[in-house]
Each structure stands twice: as C-alpha cells, then as structure tokens.
Structure 1
Amino acid sequence: MDLTVTRTYDAPPERVWAALTDGELVRRWWDPDGFTAPLARMDVRPGGASLVSMRSPDGFELYNTWTYGVVDAPRRLEYVLRFCDASGRPVPPSSLGLPADIPADGVPHELTLTPSGGGTELTVTERGYGTAETVQLSRLGLEQTLAKLAAVL
C-alpha cells in the first residue's frame, strides 16, 4: 500500500530543496511532534546515503538511512528509507517496536517539487506498506513533519 501527501509552501523550489537536503535544516523539521532530530548527516547524490535520527520525548532514538537513486535539484528526489542502528547498519523495523509490515528492505520515497503560484507544491509518496493501519500511522508522522517544514521555510 502506498501513501501520498501533497502540501504547498510559500517558498520557491530552490528553498524547499535546500530544506530537504541541508543537514542543519533537516534537523529542524525531520521528526513528528514531540520528537527532535539530533543528527542529519546528508550525502545527497545518486548512490549517496544520509544518516538521520529522531529522538522521542523519553530519549529513545531511531535512526534511518536515506539511500538516493534520483537527485534532480530542485525538482525530484527519490530515496529508500531504511531503519538502522547508530552506525547505519540496517535493522528490521519490527525489532524497534515498529509495525511488522514496514518493509525490512526499506520504504521507497519519491518527492516532487513543482512551482505553484510563486511557491512550491511538494508531493511525497511512500511505497510498500502492508496494511492500512501502517499507512495511517505513517501519514500522521509525515503530515506533522511537513507542517514543521513549513515553519522552517
């Protein structure tokens, strides 16, 4: 099952792109409400991999790698998000207490940025979830992070 969320920002595509790819900016928005993002080590290039973390209010840290396929600034970004440990080694999402139907080999993400009335329409698609419940859980987190992105812009 796939998830698609679209949001329009009052910022040009180049500024939205920077917020999606610059580690200092990613740290300001990459996390659902109540979480922080202490680490965003970005390597945004085809074949590159970023390491990003989020910390829960009680101090539990989750790590992801984002391994890039398409990097077409400032229009399109495709990567596979994988859960991992602090060193970037993949771990099964279920071992972190996450739903078992999150694909262990990663969740493909496609981001498109389209100029729109002086701003930018950002569409995020996540692919491969096993149940509607997991899609809804991911939607909640994604919508919260995209709201934080608006504040950064």
Structure 2
Amino acid sequence: MTVISTTPDPATGTLTLVAEFSAPPKDVWRLWADPRLLERWWGPPTYPATFREYEFTVGGEARYHMTGPDGSRSNGFWRLTALDEPRSLEFEDGFADQDGNPTASLPTSSTRVDFDEVPAGTRMTIVFRYDTAEELERVLAMGMAEGIQGSFGQMDALLAGA
C-alpha cells in the first residue's frame, strides 16, 4: 500500500500523512496539478470528487464536491498559497456551502505537501495544520484519517496508468 503512516498530533494541531510511490516527483505532482486526475483520487473511494473550478496558480482557488454512495454532496474549497513544482505546494483546505463558499462553522486547515525524491521514487508528506487541537479532534471524529488513507491509496493505480 502507498500510505506509510497517518499521524495525528493534538499538541501541534496537525495530521501528517506519509506515502511513497514508485514514480518520480514530477509524475506525482501531475496528480495534483491536473483536475481530471485529481478527481480520480481526491476523496475516499466511495466519495469521489468533482472539481467545478480549479485554478492551479498561487492565489488560485478550487471548488469541489464529493458525492457519497447515497447521492449526498459534501462541498469543499482550496486556496493555493504556494507552488514550487515539483517539490511542494501549500493551500488552505476547508468545507464549503453548496455554492462553494467557505463555511465558518467547520475547521479549515493550512496544508503543505512535500514531494521528496527517494531511491524507490517519491516520498510525499502532507501536513494538515489546524488552529487548535479541538479543530483537529473534530475532523478526526468525522473520519478524516481513514478518509485520507483511502483517498491517497488510490494514487498508485493512476501512476501505474490504470
């Protein structure tokens, strides 16, 4: 399996995921940069994502929804704050209303993704940072750790060309 670890740290308000791929960083980067590829893995297998807007530039925004098995939709947004192709990207990630506008009642994370070349290919480290331990605990109670493991576990098949 791709995902090596998923580690919550309430003391720092972070959730860290580490995964390795047998592909170079530029190929893993492409899974983030291309919204049609992103749709094939962002969201757990039973909650696929649809990106309605996607501007992959610093200051750009994304609006998306995940559709559950029962047809229900969960909306989200990103605000891209840094891009260093193919080494890292940073964005705000949060919940949104049906129009894609941020929802203040649910936590937003500052997220950083690093792509490091390793002998086997790429090690990707993602840190979701919340303002408080309570916000982290809230998203963990909603199933975020399990959700991201399932989501990121779908990347191998895309890198293999499936």
Q: With the length of structure 1 as denominator, give the TM-score of the two structures.
A: 0.85
Measured in 2, the distance between the counterparts of 1:33 and 1:48 equals 26
Give the paired residue count: 143
Q: Does 1:87 align with 2:87?
A: no
- TM-score, normalised with respect to structure 2: 0.81
Structure 1 gaps, min length 5: 94-101
* Contact 2:21–2:120 under 8 Å retained in 1: no
The letter of the residue matching 1:65 is F
Q: 2:83 aligns with which of 47, 51, 71?
A: 71
Q: Which residues in structure 2 correspond to 1:8-27 (within 5 Å)? A: 8-27=20-39
More helix by share: 1
CA offset at residue 138 of structure 1? Answer: 1.5
After superposition, the CA RMSD in angstroms is: 1.7
Residues 64 and 100 of structure 2 are in contact (CA less than 8 Å); yes or no, is this contact kept in structure 1? no
| 1:138 aligned to which of 128, 140, 144 | 144
- Of 28-37 and 83-92, deviating more is 83-92
- Percent identical: 27
- With over 3 angstroms needed to count, the CA separation of the structure-2 counterparts of 1:74 and 1:138, relative to structure 1, is same
Per residue, is there more strand in 1 or in 2? 2
Structure 2 portions without partners, runs of 5+: 1-12
CA contact (8 A) 1:24 1:40 kept: no
What's the CA shift string for 1:53-107, capped at 9, x where partnerless?
11000011111111011111100110001211243212245xxxxxxxx52xx21
Which residue of the other structure, out of 147, 153, 156, is the alignment partner of 1:147? Answer: 153
Checking the alignment, whether the CA contact within 8 Å between 1:26 and 1:40 is kept in structure 2 is: no
The AA in structure 2 aligned to 1:12 is: P
State the secondary structure of the residue aligned to 2:111.
Answer: strand
